[in-house]
Structure 1
Amino acid sequence: MGFLSSISKAVLYFGLFLGAIFLLPGLPPNTTFPFKEYEITPPRELKGTLETNAHLDGARHLWQDRVFGPECLIARDDGIYTGIHGGEVIRLNKKDSVETVTKIGQPCDYIFQDTVCGYPVGLAFDPQGNNMVIADAYYGLWQVNLDTKQKTMLVSPEQVLPGKKVNRPAKLFNSVAISREGDIYWTDSLTDDFMLAPFANPSGRLFRYNRKTNTNEILLDELAFANGIALSPQEDFIIVSETTAMRLTKYHLKGPRTGQSEVFVDGLPGLPDNLTPDAEGIWVPLGIAADIENPNMFAILSPHPRLRFFLARLMALMQLPFRYLNQVYPSTVVDRLFHAFTEWVNRNSPNRTTVVRVDWNGNIVRSLHGFDRSTAGVSHVLEYKGHLYMGSPFNQYVIQVELPKTNEKEKKVVS
């Protein structure tokens, strides 16, 4: 009886503890939007244009151990440009050299200390001058003159920016695209704590920055981790990745539907990241696969706001002692733990890597797959001189695969 009594008391106390976590007011988290139910379309079956193949297996790894987290890749005749952990933008060329172009952020002791070092995750060449526009995840939106190396901050992370319902600063600057007229489109992925992303309601935004007036216009709000963006060839609409919702969203910039948005592609079999447009369509990398065997955690949790609230509060309370210690005794421990966590997530993600090709009507016209993990964690696809180059925030190299011909018979995976 004594044993049963002890067990009963333990269960009671544990229940009271959980109840306190759930019910007590004033405890974190303080999220941008209230916890509400939302829907995510299940991933499509891997058939038709999504049928698996082995085109991405056996990829080459270039500049091994010389680049750390090349998230975004852009190119012109003098080489490939990318931003890396440590805050640098570098140029890679065919001579296998690595040249620093500029640095965003402050000097740091540990290159994965992104909030100090900086991390340029979005890059775009300026059509109106020899400039590069850089979205640094933690230091804001910058313009760099590639001749003089002069840096100009366009949007500060301290700046309160417009929202459809709630005005707030950007939390995670992400992708950038520039129109022929010079307007800069950019995404703020979320405005809640990154570790709460699986639990909080979507808070990502799409902006248009006007360099003449130095103002930001909110185009879309409450996006599910706003990520890559792609302007259409006529620049009459723009596409944005909603990573955690496995979809692409279309926003009309011109014409009778100006200011309206709609789903462009949904039910992608993975989480889309950066978008690379050309005249015929868009390359869309799916960084983490999602299918029946590998369900999307965000989709599982999205219909259950109370469960998400409870998990968010639990996560926020678990973070408190680490945040306090970091304030009292600043160190790289928290950054090292976070880096170790992201590495663990990448290592334990599904083996399938998928890149899809989407035309400008929102049709998936082809897909490339790999299963040997040589292209794991891909975040960006750059078509350049007959090859596909791929970046990733996790890898210490740039991935290269031959660009399969569109009429080549697909190499089937033998299961």
Structure 2
Amino acid sequence: MTRKSKPGSSSSPKPTSRKTSWPFFTILLIVVAPVLVATLVYQLDSFEPAHLPIHELTQPPLKASKKNDHMLQGSEILGRGQLKGAEDIAYDRKSGIIYTTCEDGWIKRVTVNDSVSDSVIENWVNTGGRPLGLVLGHNNEVFVADAYKGLLKISGEGEVELLTDEADGIKFKLTDGVDIADDGTIYFTDASYTYHLHEFIWDILEGKPHGRLLSYNPTTKETEALARDLYFPNGIAVSPDQDFVAFCETPMRSCRRYYIQGEKKGHLEKFIDHLPGMPDNIHYDGHGHYYIALASETTAFWELAFKYPFLRKLIGIFTKYVGEVHAAKCSGVFVVDLDGKPAEHYYDPGLALLSSGVKIGNHIYCGSIVYPYIIRVDIEKHPARAAA
């Protein structure tokens, strides 16, 4: 006879307590899985940045004897909302008109007035591409480096003519800066023959010299590659004595010069090293100084990225799968003399990606690839002062 246990009896079976390990595996999955995925993506991604000549990037940045480190204070806004991405600026002193290249393809003309509110803005010519650098010619024409089209000539009547879009059988992919010599020769840069403008960050991250310095002879219509294997050559300026052309290499934080006359003709050498930021356009002011726009100051982020290719690969992967990295800050204009010696530095923590600085009268007019206006600073009222 089976003996039945009474409820509550000590012989009643007790429920078995069982500890689950799911929380541990969940935490492990949350922590380890992303690492494994990231590692796999890193290994499989074909983008392989190269080592940069880091010895050229490890020196302390240059410092100017005078500075205005809050140039936004007292600055004025010209053409708010009408000059989106006004990348470069050229000034016609005879007519008192600024020509500027905008993101929407328009080259716009802006009158220079005592008051920015009195300035008149006109849509002049649309290139159908993305105009970047521009320079006024000797016969009422304008020469434009269009990132997507190539080197263009625009007549005084607004007719657009393609002058050249390749050299040595290699098409330009990012026609960037342009200037003209007294003899009519046009000097310009192709920042990259590998990446287009909308891909420019990949050229910077890859760390390979895809750029060229070029010339165009309007008489013979010949295009010549003067220097190759350059690191994102950007803005360009012919020296006042017509001996050389100076051009910026953005990731190298430097400017080089290529001699076009004299005993050093054909020779390439450094003009300015260790700039306190990444240079974009360079302009001669007609009075013994070059004005170099610095898109961003030298930051710890970029110093590490330029030093270590694997970090640039990580940035590239982040850019590809997540979104753009915004690391530009404290932009400005660096002023040097004819020998490349620092004179003044105008900048502000609130500025990013200035692309040009042109001195007109008592003002510096600053273009940008991101702002929908031109910034104007009266350097007589807000000068650079001796650094403490």
| TM-score bracket for this pair, using the shorter chain length | 0.7 to 0.9
Equivalenced residue count is: 353
Could you say which residue in structure 2 is the equivalent of 1:282?
290
Could you say which residue in structure 2 is the equivalent of 1:391?
367
Could you say which residue in structure 2 is the equivalent of 1:368?
346
Answer whether contact 1:53 1:410 (CA < 8 A) is retained: no
Select which of 126, 131, 150 maps to 1:103: 126
SS of aligned partner of 1:274: strand
2:388 is the counterpart of 1:410: no
2:267 is the counterpart of 1:260: yes
Matches of 2:69 and 2:34, distance apart in 1: 53
TM-score normalized by structure 1? 0.75
Call closer, same or farther: CA 1:386–1:68 in 2, change over 3 Å: same
CA RMSD of aligned residues (A): 3.2
In the alignment, structure 1 segments of 5+ residues that lack a partner are 106-117, 320-336
State the shift of 1:359 in Å: 1.2
Select which of 359, 368, 386 maps to 2:337: 359
Amino acid across the alignment from 1:136 = D
SS of aligned partner of 1:175: strand
State the shift of 1:222 in Å: 2.5
Matches of 2:370 and 2:378, distance apart in 1: 22
Call closer, same or farther: CA 1:398–1:69 in 2, change over 3 Å: same
Select which of 137, 145, 159 maps to 1:150: 159
Offset from partner CA, 1:56-109 (integer Å, 9 cap, x none): 53210011112111111111132111011211111111342111221101xxxx
Answer whether contact 2:66 2:385 (CA < 8 A) is retained: no
Matches within 5 A, 1:25-64: 28-29=46-47, 35-39=50-54, 40-42=56-58, 44=60, 47=63, 49=65, 53-64=69-80
State the shift of 1:50 in Å: 5.5
In the alignment, structure 2 segments of 5+ residues that lack a partner are 1-20
Could you say which residue in structure 1 is the equivalent of 2:185?
183
SS of aligned partner of 2:354: coil
Answer whether contact 2:59 2:274 (CA < 8 A) is retained: yes
Matches of 1:6 and 1:258, distance apart in 2: 67
Matches of 2:123 and 2:189, distance apart in 1: 25
Could you say which residue in structure 2 is the equivalent of 1:86?
104
* Higher Rg: 2
Identical counterparts, % of pairs: 26
Call closer, same or farther: CA 1:123–1:153 in 2, change over 3 Å: same
TM-score normalized by structure 2? 0.80
2:271 is the counterpart of 1:269: no
Select which of 242, 260, 280 maps to 1:235: 242
SS of aligned partner of 1:74: strand
State the shift of 1:48 in Å: 5.3
Call closer, same or farther: CA 1:390–1:219 in 2, change over 3 Å: same
Call closer, same or farther: CA 1:47–1:68 in 2, change over 3 Å: closer
Call closer, same or farther: CA 1:4–1:175 in 2, change over 3 Å: same
SS of aligned partner of 1:130: coil
2:251 is the counterpart of 1:244: yes
Could you say which residue in structure 2 is the equivalent of 1:111?
none
Amino acid across the alignment from 1:224 = Y
SS of aligned partner of 1:245: coil
Answer whether contact 1:131 1:145 (CA < 8 A) is retained: yes
Amino acid across the alignment from 2:247 = V
Could you say which residue in structure 2 is the equivalent of 1:18?
39
Matches of 2:220 and 2:384, distance apart in 1: 52
Amino acid across the alignment from 1:225 = F
Matches of 1:349 and 1:13, distance apart in 2: 28
Answer whether contact 1:71 1:393 (CA < 8 A) is retained: yes
Matches of 1:404 and 1:168, distance apart in 2: 47
Matches of 1:36 and 1:288, distance apart in 2: 22
Select which of 132, 138, 143 maps to 1:121: 132
Call closer, same or farther: CA 1:223–1:296 in 2, change over 3 Å: farther
Matches of 1:12 and 1:119, distance apart in 2: 43
Matches of 2:100 and 2:173, distance apart in 1: 21
More strand by percentage = 2
Select which of 149, 172, 175 maps to 1:173: 175
State the shift of 1:145 in Å: 0.6
Matches of 2:266 and 2:331, distance apart in 1: 34
Matches of 1:13 and 1:295, distance apart in 2: 26
SS of aligned partner of 1:256: coil
Offset from partner CA, 1:171-229 (integer Å, 9 cap, x none): 21111101111111111112234241342123221111122232221122222221110
Could you say which residue in structure 1 is the equivalent of 2:306?
302
State the shift of 1:121 in Å: 1.0
State the shift of 1:354 in Å: 3.1
State the shift of 1:316 in Å: 8.4
Call closer, same or farther: CA 1:48–1:169 in 2, change over 3 Å: closer
Call closer, same or farther: CA 1:4–1:126 in 2, change over 3 Å: same
Amino acid across the alignment from 2:253 = M
Call closer, same or farther: CA 1:51–1:62 in 2, change over 3 Å: closer
State the shift of 1:385 in Å: 2.7
